[in-house]
Amino acid sequence: MTIDEFISSSHILHRSFSELIRENGKTVIDASCGPSVSCLGRSQPEIFDAINAHLRNDIAYVYSSSPYTNGATEELAEMLLAYKPDGLSKAIFATDAALKNTIGALCVSGHASRREFYQDLMSANVSFVDPCYAYRMKDQDESDQAIVERLSRQFEDEILRVGPDRVAGFIAETVSGTTLGCLPAVSGYFKAIREICARYDVLLILDEIICGMGKTGPDIQTIGKALGAGFVPLYGVLLHEKVFQALSSGSGGLAHACTAAIAAQKIIKRDNLIERCAYMGQKLETLLRKEIGLLPLVGDIRGRGLFWAVEFVLDKKAKTLFPGQVKFCSQVVKKSLDMGLNILGNLGHTGKYQVDHILVCPPYTVTGSELGDIISLLKIAIIETSRPFLAEQDNFQVIAIAARKRFAIWFQAIV
């Protein structure tokens, strides 16, 4: 691997050593918001002003175990939980309060390529069930209801195997992010999981750090990324009232920069960006299915709102995976960036699935014409990246046809 000269000389430890795109005057359309973070774009003067005012006039930090509070923290919690959505009533703004530490979070992650570096530190009291990955996990002619029943039965069997009194919680992303690629569960899956959790008194923890905030009725919900729109590194945990009551009647507490988030959430509400996401998301889906879905090496297109993925395969009918060393999606990402389009590719694999996909998750403020530009550039990038693979397939088909002809001639000769 050749290390980029700038990366070698920089004092920043960059996550990728092979290449870095530097300033060269070219315009780049950001169709990924980083890792789906900068949902309001790169510049919002209102948020900058709010941060500056807070630093000048308010307490910048209050320890959560102290008897004091912070006005910005209280206001943000009120904005999120004023109507107690699905019984969620308390918030703590920290990156890891749901599982208390970073290793704890990694222990319940299905991100196999990240876990492998820390195997010796992984907890032994975590088990995994299959993801609701209908594109690859559905049996032939299996309905959505049937796969829901099969996977929920697997989950219940795992609870019974471990012992209901020993299972603390079930954690899952409502829409998978960078490993399985904007993968929503089929309709009815989380409702079935919710019912099983309630039956065995197991906490339902929904990880919605990357995909937004859903309405599945969790006991604990993690939020982030779009919460602060990328202007501050802010994440949070929302608790159901029953969890708070358990904490207050037990230990009595939880040992563990909201101003920018308030400004971001005010913009989202003022400009009706949630509703706009649904509307623009339909446009994005239509463009993806019409312009990208018919390309030879595109196997699946999936997502919700402005959070979509394209999965690539060598053969559509057989859903054949690319060999791991090919990294087709990385080639598409590089080709796109060369043309001025920033998208996100697969960042690792989970379990037995190495999914070759790219993410298209533009900011909430994206326009219709910008969506058109994004899809046009993406289409060219996929077509250009596909050429050598399609040429190989054509050559193979020519060889196969010639072999069949030789066999036919030989067979006729001996008959």
Kindly give, in sequence order, each residue whose CB lies less than 8 Å from that of residue 243, ignoring residues fewer than 6 positions away: 90, 203, 219, 220
Instruction: Tell me the one-letter amino acid at 257.
Output: A
Q: Which residue has the higher pLDDT, 159 or 124?
A: 159
Instruction: Tell me the one-letter amino acid at 192.
Output: A
Q: Read off the pLDDT of each residue in 228-240 and give the average, rounded to a whole number.
A: 75
Whether 280 has a pLDDT exceeding 70, the answer reads: yes
Residue 339, both tokens:
């043309």
Three-state secondary structure string covering 332-349: HHHHHHHCCEECEECCCC
Residues of the chain with CATH 3.40.640.10: 45-271
Taking the C-alpha atoms of residue 135 and residue 388, their distance in angstroms, rounded to an integer, is 26
Whether 96 has a pLDDT exceeding 80, the answer reads: no
pLDDT band at 92 (very low <50, low <70, confident <90, very high): confident
Residue 413, both tokens:
């000769």
Residue 289, both tokens:
């299915």
**Model pLDDT, residue 315:** 92
The one-character DSSP state at 139 is P
Provide the b/e sequence for 322-339 (b: ≥16 CB within 10 Å). Answer: beeeebbbbbbbbbbbee
Q: Read off the pLDDT of each residue in 126-130 and give the average, rounded to a whole number.
A: 88
Q: Which residue has the higher pLDDT, 179 or 374?
A: 374
Q: Which residue has the higher pLDDT, 123 or 18?
A: 123
**Model pLDDT, residue 214:** 46
SS3 309: strand
Whether 256 has a pLDDT exceeding 50, the answer reads: no
**Model pLDDT, residue 157:** 97
Whether 111 has a pLDDT exceeding 80, the answer reads: no
Taking the C-alpha atoms of residue 89 and residue 245, their distance in angstroms, rounded to an integer, is 10
Longest dimension (CA), the chain: 97
Whether 405 has a pLDDT exceeding 70, the answer reads: no
The one-character DSSP state at 138 is P
Give the DSSP letter string of 167-184: --EEEEESEE-TTTTSEE
Provide the b/e sequence for 267-279 (b: ≥16 CB within 10 Å). Answer: bbeeeebeebbee
Q: Read off the pLDDT of each residue in 194-218 and give the average, rounded to a whole number.
A: 78
Q: Read off the pLDDT of each residue in 260-279 and give the average, rounded to a whole number.
A: 89
Residues of the chain with CATH 3.90.1150.10: 273-395
Fold topology of 273-395: Aspartate Aminotransferase, domain 1 (3.90.1150)
Q: What is the pLDDT of residues 301-317, one digit of tens each?
A: 999 999 999 999 999 98
**Model pLDDT, residue 190:** 92
Architecture per CATH, domain 45-271, reads as: 3-Layer(aba) Sandwich (3.40)
| Contact predicate 133/144, CB 8 Å | no
Q: What is the pLDDT of residues 167-182, one digit of tens each?
A: 999 988 888 877 788 8
C-alpha distances in Å from residue 18, one per residue of 1, 8, 14, 272:
7, 10, 10, 41
Whether 349 has a pLDDT exceeding 90, the answer reads: no
| Contact predicate 205/55, CB 8 Å | no
Lowest mean pLDDT among 154-158, 202-206, 372-376, 407-411: 407-411
